Amino acid sequence: MLQPLNKIETWMRETFITTAKGNDLNRISNFYGFRRPQYISEEYWRKALHSALFSARGCPGPIFAFLEAVFGEWVDEVSTYTATAMSPNIMQFSGASCWHEHRYVRINGDLYRSAYLRGDGFPDDIVFYAVDNTLFKAASFTPGQEYTLQFLPFDVEEYGCEYRILIDNGVLNFPKYYIPLKNGQPRDPQEVEGGHILDFFSEVSEERFGNQRTGPYPIYLSADEFGELFFDALDLMLAAGVHERVLSVQWCPDMASLYGSIFLSKIYGTREPSIPDIIEPTRS
């Protein structure tokens, strides 16, 4: 017969970051001032919260680790490749494109920086920087050896007291639904409700998504900046006087982003869903 958990074990699981789940994790996160965005899975938010709470404030390393953990779901599912080193600073893998240029790349646990495609005649080769700095290592791969490459969906820049986070626009891609032509006029009681302005960052499910089959169908006001993306999380990590700015960037003008949107992944459970047809209104 299974024995129920004793009070101490139950208390530990409800109050420790490493073991708390669901509402317990959200409660702990809120207590420290890090309100969990609903589009970030518990597993990855736990990693991000752990790096934020047990690291020094204002240091670039912990902030970068926080961002990497937050977007870990997209990295693990979409942008992880097996590549072969062609030279100390050149990697080869199937599908290399301009989308992979100028990215931070986690390779076998270490952080590197991709530079550019090798060029004509070498379609699957990408060159890495052979110099290092305080953030990433210089490329020094062993030719012929296989490596695991994880391309990150963001970049970071510092401009004085502004910390800029550049995020691939494929991640922050919200759908656009129709606005009724008779806007402002009384709606026929038998007509399906049209678009409503909803809050994608709300903790209430109905305020984020509406109802995808019966309405209200959401209208999301897209923008190039997403100041609410991480709420106040980054403000608690940055040094005093430094503020963050989140920008959506089209990484490669010649091809679509490889990342699926947060919206599609969370609504339909896949980045490439078969979206159901809009239900036509019926009238008697």
> Quick one: residue 67, left, alpha or beta (phi over 0 = left, psi -120 to 50 = alpha)?
alpha
pLDDT band at 261 (very low <50, low <70, confident <90, very high): low
* Model pLDDT for residues 185-218, shown as the tens digit of each residue: 555 555 545 555 666 667 777 666 666 555 555 5
Mean pLDDT across the chain, nearest whole number?
Answer: 76
* Model pLDDT for residues 85-135, shown as the tens digit of each residue: 999 999 999 988 888 999 999 998 899 999 999 888 888 999 999 998 888
What is the reported pTM? 0.73
Residue 283, SS3 per DSSP: coil
CA gap 31, 39 in Å, rounded: 19
Is the model more confident about 178 or about 43? 43
Please compute the mean of the pLDDT values over residues 172-188 and round it to a whole number: 51
pLDDT at 254 over 50: yes
Q: Which domains does the chain have, with CATH numbers?
A: 7-55 (no CATH), 80-151 (2.40.30)
Chain centre distance of CA 30: 20
Q: What pLDDT shows up at residue 137? A: 93
